[in-house]
Structure 1
Amino acid sequence: MSEESGRRNLRMPSDDEMFAVVVEHNGGNHVRVRCQDGENRMGRIPGRMKYRTWINEGDVVLVEPWAWQDEKANIEWRYSEQDAEQLRTEGHIK
């Protein structure tokens, strides 16, 4: 992070990933997300993130939709509030 600009290098989506916002926590390791393409999907929090990264409603996350069931997706990354604000400022998300 450069001190004068305050900009951080953030993880950006690859070809099969997209930004999403968590709209509902369904318990366990499932959340409902509203994806960048306008679809609502059931997001699955993988075990590597389940107890280490807390995901709440309103969080901006990076998801990878399943190839065989488009209505479901894996949560790949959660952005902090500062990172989400930077993504909004740079025009990556609304």
Structure 2
Amino acid sequence: MSDNDDGGRRNLRMPEDDEVFATVTNMLGANRVRVRCSDGVERTARIPGKMQKRVWIREDDVVLVEPWDWQDEKADITWRYDKQDADQLREEGHI
């Protein structure tokens, strides 16, 4: 039995009112990525300054994005899930 095996579900950050799940499809450079959102829309998402050096985002990562009010094809990334958290979200049917 490993130290990390608590045998249970971890409490994960869930989307707030204006956030949606998304999967990173490709890196565009200049702190921008292309994401496919759970509402079916492909958006260009911006990696905010507070995440740029601390959180590394790669293709196929599951993230939370907040679509812009005034331009629906753009969004800001608010959270990145690590691989095991993304797997848990898939198992529970959220994404």
| TM-score category (smaller protein) | over 0.9
Q: TM-score, normalised by structure 2?
A: 0.93
Partner of 1:46: 48
Code of the residue aligned with 2:48 in structure 1: it is P
| Unmatched runs of 5 consecutive residues or more in structure 1 | none
Q: Which runs of 4+ in 1 moved over 2 A?
A: none
Q: TM-score, normalised by structure 1?
A: 0.94
> Map of 1:1-94 to 2, 5 A cutoff?
3-5=6-8, 7-93=9-95
Deviations 1:26-58 (A, max 9, x none): 012100000001100000000000010000000
CA distance, structure 2, for counterparts of residue 59 and residue 18 of structure 1: 14
Aligned residues: 92
Code of the residue aligned with 1:17 in structure 2: it is E
User: What value does the CA root-mean-square deviation take over the aligned residues?
Assistant: 1.3
> Does structure 2 retain, via aligned residues, the 8 Å contact 1:2–1:8?
no
| Unmatched runs of 5 consecutive residues or more in structure 2 | none
Rg: which structure is higher? Answer: 2
